[in-house]
Structure 1
Amino acid sequence: MSSAAPVPRGGGRDAITRAARESFAEQGYHGTSIRDIARRAGLSLSALYHWHSGKQDLLVLLIEESTAEYFRRCEGALDEVGSHTADPAERLLALVRATVEYRVSRRVESTIAAAEWGNLAPEHRARLDGLRESAGRLWTEIVDDGVARGHFRCAHPEDARRAIVAACNAIAQWYDPAGDLAVPDLVERYGEIALRIVDHRP
């Protein structure tokens, strides 16, 4: 008779993913063992290995899902304002909104991706770097277009892009949903910051 603990509601795969997310967030990738994840999921090691080959597989899964979802949200936000046809400032604000809302709603996943990217095996990192770079190009295209059309007067567009992205990404580290700052206000605030960084002049 098996001595494994009952599988929690949501099924084995969901329980394992949830346990890995919580363990990586609390203990870091290197501080987490595959036994820790199995124990937290309420599963035996053999049951965990039925779904995943190890903790590297779980790290890849979490980061890939997080990065892909962020890219989808960015593309969706740009589609709402007219993608390449809208004013560069409108598109920039759409990306800021998508990023701020994502970092707030997926704080744990965002923190894991930022902290553990370097722990991806080279073959996984090379593949996921491509997805992350695709999201980065959305920002670059907008800032470059704004400069070319005279809407943005920043002297160093690439540095401006990095500053905006870094500021938005850092929200996952400090934002408290129970605090006084509501998400719409946060979006507005960071939109204003982004426009100042690119020196927006309509």
Structure 2
Amino acid sequence: MQPAGQRAILDAARHEFAGRGYGAASIRDIARRAGVSLSAMYHYYSGKQELLHALLHESSTQYFTSCDQELARAGEDAGERLAALVRATVRYRAERRLESSLLLTEWRHLSEDRLKEARQRQYDGSRLFHEVVDAGVSQGVFRTPHPEDARRGVIAMCNAVAQWYRAGGDVGVDELAERYVELALVLVEYRPAGSLPRRSR
């Protein structure tokens, strides 16, 4: 459990980086938004670089945890597993828009060592979809002749949710996730032997 001051600093940095961009955000503005002194902030983080890394690491860890939880509820059918990944991704992008913005746009500002870690995490996220799509083709339940294009399309579609979704609109997160599941299954031309993938509960 993080101390309240540290949590406030991370929250402030998240809003400053997402709102102004990493380059325009300042340590002073982050401390002011967090309601802490500069010395208190430096007690936890050495500067913007460490703050950005902490936010991206925390955010990606939360995303992978969500994917693992959804996959644990899915069966072995590739359609169910793709549905699980789509649900996890859409919910994450809709409910954590600021974190998603940082993951998708600000990671390039990391130092070389930390940039390597961020790229690996991006690869790991893409690999989850890659493995599921490959499994669906092998199982004969994904009939698309263009599995790589379908995979990229599904990922791009889910990631874009962070750019336009707003809470309180006509469509709730759960309904949106199920719509995107249907769209994803169309893209891979899912032809199950039995019923459609069950909805998560």
TM beyond 0.5: yes
1:178 is displaced (CA, Å) by 1.3
Unaligned runs of 5+ in 1: 1-9
Which of residues 61, 65, 85 in structure 2 aligns to 1:95? 85
Report the counterpart of residue 166 of structure 1 in structure 2.
156
Report the counterpart of residue 182 of structure 1 in structure 2.
172
Which of residues 36, 44, 53 in structure 2 aligns to 1:43? 36
Query: Conserved in 2, the CA contact under 8 Å of 1:74 and 1:135?
Result: no
Which of residues 89, 102, 117 in structure 2 aligns to 1:112? 102
What is the CA deviation profile of residues 103-130 of structure 1, one whole-angstrom value per residue up to 9, with x for unaligned ones?
1111111011111011111110111222
What is the CA deviation profile of residues 124-156 of structure 1, one whole-angstrom value per residue up to 9, with x for unaligned ones?
011122223222211111100111121111222
Letter aligned with residue 39 of structure 2: S
Report the counterpart of residue 52 of structure 1 in structure 2.
45
Q: Quick one: higher RCO (CA 8 Å, sep 6+), 1 or 2?
A: 2
* In 2, Cα distance between equivalents of 1:156 and 1:34: 47
* In 1, Cα distance between equivalents of 2:15 and 2:174: 27
* In 2, Cα distance between equivalents of 1:36 and 1:132: 29
* In 2, Cα distance between equivalents of 1:91 and 1:121: 35
Alignment of 1:77 onto 2:70: yes
Aligned length: 190
Report the counterpart of residue 17 of structure 1 in structure 2.
10
What is the CA deviation profile of residues 70-104 of structure 1, one whole-angstrom value per residue up to 9, with x for unaligned ones?
1111111111113xxx1110111111111111111
Unaligned runs of 5+ in 2: 193-201
Report the counterpart of residue 117 of structure 2 in structure 1.
127
* In 2, Cα distance between equivalents of 1:11 and 1:93: 37
What is the CA deviation profile of residues 40-94 of structure 1, one whole-angstrom value per residue up to 9, with x for unaligned ones?
1122211111110001101011111111111111111111113xxx111011111
Query: Conserved in 2, the CA contact under 8 Å of 1:78 and 1:91?
Result: yes
Query: Conserved in 2, the CA contact under 8 Å of 1:21 and 1:62?
Result: yes
Structure 1 ranges of 4+ moved more than 6 A: none
Question: TM-score normalized by structure 1?
Answer: 0.90
Letter aligned with residue 171 of structure 1: V
* In 1, Cα distance between equivalents of 2:28 and 2:144: 51
1:201 is displaced (CA, Å) by 1.7
Query: Conserved in 1, the CA contact under 8 Å of 2:107 and 2:118?
Result: no
Which of residues 121, 130, 137 in structure 1 aligns to 2:127? 137
Report the counterpart of residue 196 of structure 2 in structure 1.
none
Question: TM-score normalized by structure 2?
Answer: 0.90
